[in-house]
Structure 1
């Protein structure tokens, strides 16, 4: 028999080479795919966002209404009147004979009043929905509870100051809702019961001289 010639040997080598090349390409593709899968980034975990609580709206303080209040102490020993304007207050305590006191101070946002006067006089009160003021007043060693209802003119607090026959006159009047007047007139610091005023005009005669009392405000 004749041995295979060089041509057969060459063909066998080509077939073997093609087989090895195909195997190498296939293996390389798998390796690259596997490497890419390993390097794929892990998706970040989703963050849950909780709804923020709705802030509670703050309440704007309501200022005390401008008004006047008049009433009597619980023991009926004296009358008291309070005038409120722009967050300020003035009060007058009067027994109609010799005891009186003018007090003043601020009205707080919660409706409370802490007023002070001469010789340690003080008033602690609370404004109730603009309808009345109740509390206590300390004047001349006496301690009195009181209630003063909202006043309608001519009720309320009146005052007149003047010089009559060289005497310094200072008069204070509280006009209650039933028309009753409680007041004191001081002449050079000496107190005495005050004459009546005309509640329609505030006119009053003192020692023969006509004066005009006007609503007292802070």
Structure 2
């Protein structure tokens, strides 16, 4: 009769050894499996953001304005007319006197302005003309009874323009002047006729004065005396009568 005891014992030991090896392998793999379970999958990490998330990310913060979408176009450059500075508006002083020579004629012209109203006088020793009109925005427009006219621009202390009288037209440049340069006039009634005379006096740059004038008794021209240099309002004799010349401030209201 055989003894099974040792064989059973050996078989049981083999079974126990196998079981312990399997348990050890399972225990070694368990941490890796749990870590893999806790880690996000590749699909989860690469999934695109939702529409709501995109809107939140691109929406401007409070107080900020959204930038306009790029169109690939640039604003046109401003034109020369848009970038050019506006022309300054020419203005004349409330009170000013101008006097100068008429080119190509040899005569003189004098213009006086008071609060936008103006008078002028042209004389070349033979013909004469009184003008009246207005000044606005540096533009002067004067007319005479005989159809003559004066047009000028007032700028830089000068009147530059054109005088037209008796079918002739001449240009002139008349700087501002101060007394005793300027415009003078004298009137009186002599032998039932109105006697009148007018003068323009201009100081010369090198000293002395240039003056021109004309006098009429009624419609007849008579010799006109020269005014005193430095004292143009001193009395003078015209046509046998003594006249008292006045500067422009003494008679401008009668002609305006």
TM-score where L is the length of structure 2: 0.58
Q: List runs of 5+ in structure 2 lacking aligned partners.
A: 1-61, 66-87
Structure 1 equivalent of residue 153 of structure 2 = 126
Counterpart pick for 2:225 among 195, 201, 207: 195
For 2:177, the equivalent position in structure 1 comes to 151
Q: CA RMSD in A?
A: 2.3
Deviation at 1:156, TM superposition (A): 0.4
Distance apart, 1:93 and its partner CA: 0.7
SS in 2 for 1:104: strand
> Are residues 1:72 and 2:101 paired?
yes
Please say if residues 164 and 170 of structure 2, whose CA atoms lie closer than 8 Å, have aligned partners that are also in contact. yes
Structure 1: 5+ residue runs without aligned partners?
Answer: 1-45, 50-58
Q: Higher Cα Rg: structure 1 or 2?
A: 2
After TM superposition, give the deviation of residue 161 of structure 1 in Å.
1.0
- Once residues 48 and 123 of structure 1 are traced to their aligned partners in structure 2, the CA distance between those partners, rounded to angstroms, is 63
Q: What is the deviation of 1:208?
A: 3.1
**Contact 1:94–1:184 at 8 Å: present in 2 too?**
yes
Q: For the residues of structure 2 that align with 1:77 and 1:201, how far apart are their CA atoms?
A: 21
Q: Find the aligned partners of 1:76 and 1:149 in 2 and give their Cα distance.
A: 18
Note if contact 1:96-1:194 (Cα within 8 Å) is conserved in structure 2: no
Aligned residue for 1:176, secondary structure, equals strand
Q: Check if 1:186 corresponds to 2:212.
A: no
State the match for 1:87 in structure 2.
Answer: 116
Q: Tell me how far apart the structure 1 counterparts of residues 171 and 119 of structure 2 sit (CA, whole Å).
A: 17
Query: Which residue, 78, 81, 100 being the options, matches 2:128?
Result: 100
- What are the equivalent positions in structure 2 for 1:1-218 lying under 5 Å apart? 62=91, 64-97=93-126, 99-109=127-137, 111-129=138-156, 131-178=157-204, 179-198=209-228, 199-202=230-233, 203-216=235-248, 217=252, 218=256
What is aligned with 2:28?
none
Q: Mean alpha-carbon deviation: is it higher for 132-141 or for 61-70?
A: 61-70
Q: Report the CA distance shift for 1:93/1:48 in structure 2 as closer, same or farther (over 3 A).
A: farther
Residue 104 of structure 1 deviates from its aligned partner by 0.7
Considering fraction of residues, name the structure with more strand: 1
Aligned to 1:27: none
Please give the secondary structure, in 1, of the residue aligned with 2:237: strand
- The CA deviation string for residues 48-88 of structure 1, in whole angstroms up to 9 with x for no partner, is 89xxxxxxxxx998553312111111114311100111111
C-alpha distance in 1, partners of 2:239/2:217?
10
Is 2:122–2:130's contact at 8 Å kept on the other side of the alignment? yes
Higher relative contact order (CA 8 A, sep 6+): 1
- CA-CA distance at 1:140 after TM superposition: 0.5
Count of residues in correspondence between the two structures: 162
Decide whether the 8 Å contact of 2:223 with 2:238 is kept in 1.
Answer: no
TM-score by length of 1: 0.67
